[in-house]
Structure 1
Amino acid sequence: MRELRWASEEGDGIEHLAFDARADGFAAESAVVGQRYGNAYGLHYAVRVDAQWRTTYAWLKIVGGGELELYGDGNGHWSDGHGVVLDAIEGCVDIDIAATPFTNTLPIRRLQLAEGERRPISVAYISTPDLQVTRVEQAYSCLALNREYRYEGIFRDFTADMQVDQDGLVIDYPTLFRRLPLAR
């Protein structure tokens, strides 16, 4: 199991993530304290992906607020915690939780891009702190294999070049997040 932290470059936020490989894929659990649009929030989330890095489960809970549970089959079919099919995100394999750089790891690992390759994708975007789920268009490009990737938020006209470590976890996401050293 690995543990790491990121600081928000937009405000006073911080995240602590535990990331673990399992026989059937990977799991992450995290606590985020942040602010968005001037509103402070606390978020606890858990994400599971299969061995091909396809998201199969996500649970998010805002401290003192809403909760969201998503189940995916890895092929773009989703339902909520009550079994209701979510047609609006049909075809999305990845999720993108607005409050964390962790969910960038999911398409970076899943897509297995060759250096110089770019691929547009549709993702289930989860805004915070309201936990609204919408389908958005993004793209990822491999700038330096296993070291640097470009994220394009096509839906909001935003681009950033992210440095990642050997596990595809973000080290630096300019203007949004930067990895912190763990206390020793």
Structure 2
Amino acid sequence: MVERFVIWRGEDPERADTAAVALSGDSLSARGASTTGSYALNFVLTTGPGWVTERVRVHTAGTGWWRALDLSAREGVWAASVAGEGDGHLGPAGVADPAALRGALDCDLGLCPLTNTMPVLRHDLVAAGRRGEEVTVDFRMAWISVPDLAVHLSPQTYTSRGPAPDGGAVIDFVSGDFEAALHVDADGLVVDYPSLGRRVGAWAA
């Protein structure tokens, strides 16, 4: 088992993101937090074999309000429960159209550098990048927007581009009209995600 504690500095909005991650075989578990000037977020994530999301619980809170999402998947079928108080200024939380998410294997928590790890590991994109191979994979993600915790289908594409000097790789990411070149380390954890966050520290947990 590999256990890591990682800190990123986020931007737009400015924030501090942290995650404690345990990688075991072909699964992971993690807990993390994000703090901005207007809200705080905490999450707990577990995957099954193949780094397929089983459950993610997310809690956001600001002055006078809080909201919680419990999102789970079983054999490609997603379900969610939500709760909150004083959050009427936010849009609806949870899954508006569960059928649209059918077949998605991963959650993608908005503004969270950690949830890029699962698809990268499942398709061994770090090794492909280090070999200089261009491997392109299309995904259907259960994307969780923050801080409202609404869940939507998000088609995304990852392409291995080449090696990174620290034993990791560069992975091109595309979602709609957004594109970024992600630098991930040998464990598939984000080092630099332009416009989203840059790692400022990492330790063995």
TM-score category (smaller protein): 0.7 to 0.9
Q: Which moved more, 1:128-137 or 1:143-152?
A: 143-152
Matches within 5 A, 1:132-171: 132-144=150-162, 146-154=168-176, 157-171=177-191
Matched residue SS, 1:175: coil
Q: Distance in 1 between matches of 2:180 and 2:31?
A: 25
Q: Distance in 1 between matches of 2:183 and 2:26?
A: 27
Letter in 2 for 1:52: G
Letter in 2 for 1:130: D
The structure 1 residue matched to 2:136, chosen from 94, 118, 122, is: 118
Deviation at 1:51, TM superposition (A): 2.9
Deviation at 1:23, TM superposition (A): 6.8
The structure 2 residue matched to 1:175, chosen from 195, 198, 202, is: 195
- Aligned partners of 1:32 and 1:44 also within 8 Å: yes
Structure 1 gap ranges (5+): none
Matches within 5 A, 1:10-25: 10-22=12-24, 25=27
- Aligned partners of 2:184 and 2:190 also within 8 Å: yes
Deviation at 1:137, TM superposition (A): 1.1
Q: Distance in 1 between matches of 2:124 and 2:201?
A: 27
Q: Distance in 2 between matches of 1:130 and 1:49?
A: 23
Letter in 2 for 1:59: R
Identity of aligned residues (%): 30
1:76 and 2:98 correspond: no
Q: Distance in 2 between matches of 1:11 and 1:90?
A: 31
Q: Distance in 2 between matches of 1:88 and 1:68?
A: 18
Q: Residues 81-108 of structure 1: CA distance to partner in whole angstroms, max 9, x if unpaired?
A: 48x9932311111111112111111111
Q: Residues 132-156 of structure 1: CA distance to partner in whole angstroms, max 9, x if unpaired?
A: 00001110001126411011012xx
Letter in 2 for 1:92: A
Letter in 2 for 1:68: L
Deviation at 1:24, TM superposition (A): 7.6
Structure 2 gap ranges (5+): 83-94
- Aligned partners of 1:71 and 1:81 also within 8 Å: no
Q: Distance in 2 between matches of 1:96 and 1:128?
A: 11
Higher relative contact order (CA 8 A, sep 6+): 2
TM-score by length of 2: 0.78
Q: Residues 51-91 of structure 1: CA distance to partner in whole angstroms, max 9, x if unpaired?
A: 31111111001124111111112x42212248x99323111
Matched residue SS, 2:115: helix
Q: Distance in 1 between matches of 2:100 and 2:143?
A: 11
TM-score by length of 1: 0.86
Matched residue SS, 1:106: helix
CA RMSD of aligned residues (A): 2.2
Deviation at 1:30, TM superposition (A): 0.3
Query: Which protein shows a greater Rg?
Result: 2
